[in-house]
Amino acid sequence: MDVEHETQFAAARERLLAIAYGILGDRGAAEDVVQEAWLRLAGAAGPVEDVTGWLVVATSRLALDVVRSARHRRERYVGPWLPEPVVAPENDPADRVTLDESVGMALLVVLETLSPAERTAFVLHEVFGLPFTEVAEVVGRTPAAVRQLASRARKHVADRSPRFERDPAKQRAVATAFATACEGRDLGALLALLDPAVVLRSDGGGVVTAARNPVRGADKVARFLLGVQAKGTDRVHPVLVNGMPGFLRLRGGRPQGVVSLTVVDGRVAAVDIVVNPEKLARVRATHLEGN
């Protein structure tokens, strides 16, 4: 096995993971795709001059194939489908750089409404800056066709994505106040923090109890959150969810859910809650060690 290839793969691995995760919204599947790309590189016939470029194209193609095959399964998914969250301690700057708002929960939710080709074109060109000639190589279309795909996707994302607060201190201040209001079961304080058009999505995957449909409007969302709070005894820990302030709910040392907030103009515009145990498996492995 080529040592130089190994070195370049190790250097590119986090970028490859971020690309695959952006296309898939599934960290476990992204890791599998990146590993498969590496195996294909190791078995490539003949020399590979641009190893990183080769890996980016191979990873993107594999991720596109997976998301195409997963589309039908996601359409039959029980309740809202949310991306697998990437959770890190608040004081971990590495994950904020690697998985910041460029692949945040709010964006990934919107990307689910795109076609696989549109999603891939958007992630590769708009998020990671690949030229249209390279994106065309991935999706199997001409550069001109890919430009149109990316343009449609960009407009769709712009129309549907909230313009979230980018100041980490302001994000955390709102998140802290949100947690305090929930834990204190303070309806008035919670309503003051929620955007009137706030939407709450809860992903249980049909495995555990969760809202089958999005909950919309400040009053309904606030009462839903306080109802959940009244039933549980979970401990809440502030964490970064895809590089943005959020919460990890623990019961007996085990993750019960991950809460991601989208803050717009000082208010919470979206609450995304992942409670599907399958999507919390890597939280056990990566976040709790050493805590």
- Residue-level pLDDT, tens digit, the chain, 291 residues: 578 888 899 999 999 999 999 999 999 999 999 999 999 998 887 788 899 999 999 999 999 999 998 877 777 888 889 999 988 887 655 444 444 456 788 889 899 899 999 999 999 999 999 999 999 999 999 999 999 999 999 999 988 876 776 788 888 999 999 999 998 999 999 999 999 999 999 999 988 989 999 999 999 999 999 998 877 777 888 888 988 889 998 888 889 999 999 998 899 999 999 999 999 988 864 445 444
Strands (DSSP E) contained in the chain are 87-89, 194-203, 215-216, 235-241, 244-251, 254-264, 267-274
Cβ neighbors of 272 (< 8 A, separation 6 or more) are 82, 105, 106, 109, 200, 201, 203, 259, 260, 261, 262
Cβ neighbors of 185 (< 8 A, separation 6 or more) are 226, 229, 230
Q: Could you tell me the two tokens for 95?
A: 């994950």
Chain centre to alpha carbon of residue 273: 12
Longest CA–CA span in the chain (Å) reads 67
Cβ(222)–Cβ(190) under 8 Å? yes
What is the phi/psi pair of residue 30, to 5°? Answer: -65, -40
